[in-house]
Amino acid sequence: MFKFILKKLLFMIPMLLVISFLIFFALKSMPIDPINYLLPPEASQDATLKEQLREAYGLNKPFLVQYGNWIGNILKGDFGYSILNGQPIKEILKQKLPATLQLATTALVISSVLGILLGILSAVNQNSIIDYIGRVIGVLGQSIPQFLFGIILITIFALQLKILPAGGRNLYGKNDILSQFKAIILPACALSIGMIATVLRYTRNSMLDVINKEYIKTARSKGVSEAVVYFKHAFRNSMGPILVTIMFRIPGLVGGSVVIETVFNWPGIGSTLMGSVTSGDYPVIMVTTLLLAVVMLTISFLVDVLSALLDPRIRLDA
């Protein structure tokens, strides 16, 4: 198992280098000059000043030298500075990352609990009204875009019923637990809708597959109650594929937060990335995009480890 984990970790290094190079290359290939964002309109035609700024920020060096300097600084813990306000990017991440983690974790809990619960109910009551409702939820959850579902939630619960806030992390500067709970409900539900549908469908299919196994029939023939059959035998033995599915969907929560945070004005990494794209703050775009890539690769690594723990044949074949 140690060799399997070490192999996966070593494989992540070239992957990160390739991803970081592609991010750097893509942003450097854009026709927009970031120096223009630093100058007031009256100085935008000053070629000498532009050249001085390029020299100060190292933008006049060869491409590979710029990339090497960027990666080297990141490895030293120096993420650079925002072009727009000069704030260290490390400080921006410290301020924004906790909000994104809070939102993604809440959405993960909601989607896992509801998805598994609805999937079990759908499997236990196969071909009943409950099962049909579960199937509809599964289809709608994967069909409706998250941002559209978020707008619907805002319209109903914030604008019409006025029982939940339309956006923001804190309510008018309040930091108590109840205020934060109210603020996170709508964005977390909007972010989790797609994952609820996926977990529901995988739980239902996995449960139905296990229910038809011989040992389930044997347990029933011994007089074991249906509750014990479903929850102790069927659900426990179907948890492997369900856990892997949940782990695979976590990167979707992190990536989906980019749109949801913008819709709900949630002060996280996603909204920061969208704002940086709009304003052309390239250092922030590169670091936040690389951070999201690191998160997704890390989760992929954890999925591989979990799969190997559940099925030893995976690490033997690797």
- pLDDT at 154 (0 to 100): 92
Is 208 in contact with 126 (CB distance < 8 Å)? yes
Shared domain for 225 and 108, answered yes or no, is yes
* Positive/negative CA dihedral, 278, 56, 293, 267: negative
**Neighbour-count burial of 296, counting CB atoms closer than 10 A to its CB (0-12 exposed, 13-18 middle, 19+ buried):** middle
Q: Is the pLDDT of residue 115 over 70?
A: yes
CA-nearest of 23, 19, 14, 51 to 35 is 51
Highest mean pLDDT (candidates 234-238, 263-267, 276-280): 263-267
Shared domain for 159 and 299, answered yes or no, is yes
Residue 81 belongs to some domain of the structure:
no
Shared domain for 137 and 218, answered yes or no, is yes
Number of domains in the chain: 2
Unique residue bearing structure tokens 């509809």: 136
Shared domain for 161 and 266, answered yes or no, is yes
Q: Is the pLDDT of residue 318 over 60?
A: no
Shared domain for 111 and 61, answered yes or no, is no
Range scoring the smallest mean pLDDT among 43-57, 147-161, 245-259: 43-57
Q: Which two tokens stand for residue 164?
A: 């939940």
Q: Is the pLDDT of residue 311 over 60?
A: yes
Residue 117 belongs to some domain of the structure:
yes
Q: Is the pLDDT of residue 38 over 70?
A: no
Q: Is the pLDDT of residue 158 over 80?
A: yes
Q: Is the pLDDT of residue 72 over 80?
A: yes
Give the residues across from 171 on adjacent strands.
174
Task: Note down the domain range covering 216.
Answer: 95-317
- pLDDT at 229 (0 to 100): 75
Q: Is the pLDDT of residue 43 over 70?
A: no
* Alpha carbon distance 142, 120 (integer Å): 19
Tens-digit pLDDT profile for residues 183-231 = 889 999 999 988 898 889 888 888 888 877 777 777 777 777 777 777 7
* Alpha carbon distance 102, 91 (integer Å): 18
Unique residue bearing structure tokens 């494989």: 11
